[in-house]
Amino acid sequence: MSREAAFIAALRGIATHPAARGLADDCAVLEIGGETLILTHDAMAEGVHFLPGQDAADVAWKLVASNLSDLAAKGAEPLGVLLGYQFGPDDARFLAGLEEVLVHFGVPLLGGDTISATGPQVLGLTALGRATHRPVPARSGARPGDAIWITGPVGAAMLGFEALRDATAADSAAFRRPLARLADGRALAPLVSAMMDVSDGLLLDASRMARASGVSFAIDSMAVPIAAPEARRAEALRWGEDYQLLFTLPEGAEPPITAFQIGTASASAEAPVVLDGLPLTEAKGLGYEHS
């Protein structure tokens, strides 16, 4: 088990409130006064999530979009964000990007905290939303026979990262300015048996959904749309940060938005994901995990 997976497993003994969903979901889901609040927090660190010297406006964009993507996976309507800010190399560019992304998604900044510290810049953001449909989709609802779908291609962020890192002429926007699929998530929420966003790599996130649902996912690698050269298909399925929505629908149901069927769920087999008939028994190498 990765260090990240082991730590979250240990946290599960503490996070016993039902709203925590066993720390096996993209967000907390808190019933309050006839409404359902959807809460999520993600952090980003220089050198880990963004390159040293990267435009701080793009860093702000991604910090907000990656959190809103978790709300999208619940079909939630964003209510606002709280920012944890550590002064960095260009606070003015960060502010410009923050305003731009919040205007783009129509989300208010509600508060946060600001600190000065040494070492690589670390940023955090909490996003709050309200459920537009109940029950709120979970990672755990996939059933044998369900079809597995994804909203669009994977691999664009990987190519964008390489373009930025290597300062080539290739487009890096998919890495710098990902989109949160809020409208797709809202349209899908009433129909899906399970849904999550793909941040850590399709195969790793699919294995998490399959595990949470107690099923096995048979995935056809050639059915997965990729935005990378064919020779890099295996990497595109593992890199992450494309923020597509991964979801399951009962057999025969058609999604109301553009999406691609990539496989079928079946009763739990020897591995959570079976790729082209090959059981992937270890989580290692399926996606990005913090060590």
Binding-site residue set: 26, 40, 42, 49, 70, 112-113, 139, 197, 199-200, 241, 288
Stretch that binds Mg ion, among 22-30, 104-112, 228-236, 253-261 (CB under 5 A): 22-30
10 Å CB burial of residue 177 (0-12, 13-18, 19+) is middle
What contacts 24+ positions apart, CB below 8 Å, involve 15-19?
none
Binding residues for ATP: 112-113, 139, 199
- Cα dihedral 40, 206, 202, 121 sign: positive
3-state SS string for 76-119: EEEEEEEEEEECCCCHHHHHHHHHHHHHHHCCCEEEEEEECCCC
Q: Is residue 23 close enough to count as binding ligand TPP by CB under 6 A?
A: no
Q: Is 51 in the site for ligand TPP (CB under 6 A)?
A: yes
Tell me which residue has its CB nearest to ligand ADP: 26
Site residue total, Mg ion (CB under 5 A): 3
Of 66, 80, 54, give the one whose Cα is nearest residue 26: 66
User: According to the binding rule CB under 6 A, does residue 51 interact with ligand ADP?
Assistant: no
Q: Residues near 233 by Cβ (< 8 Å), separated by ≥ 6? A: 155, 221, 224, 226
| Nearest to ligand ADP of 2, 266 (CB atom) | 2
Minimum distance between the CB of residue 39 and ligand ADP, rounded to whole angstroms? Answer: 9
Is residue 26 a contact residue for ligand ADP (CB under 6 A)?
yes
200 binds Mg ion (CB under 5 A): no
Residues in contact with ligand TPP by CB under 6 A are 42, 47-51, 66, 161, 199-200, 239-241, 288
Residues in contact with ligand ADP by CB under 6 A are 8, 11, 23, 25-26, 42, 70, 199-200
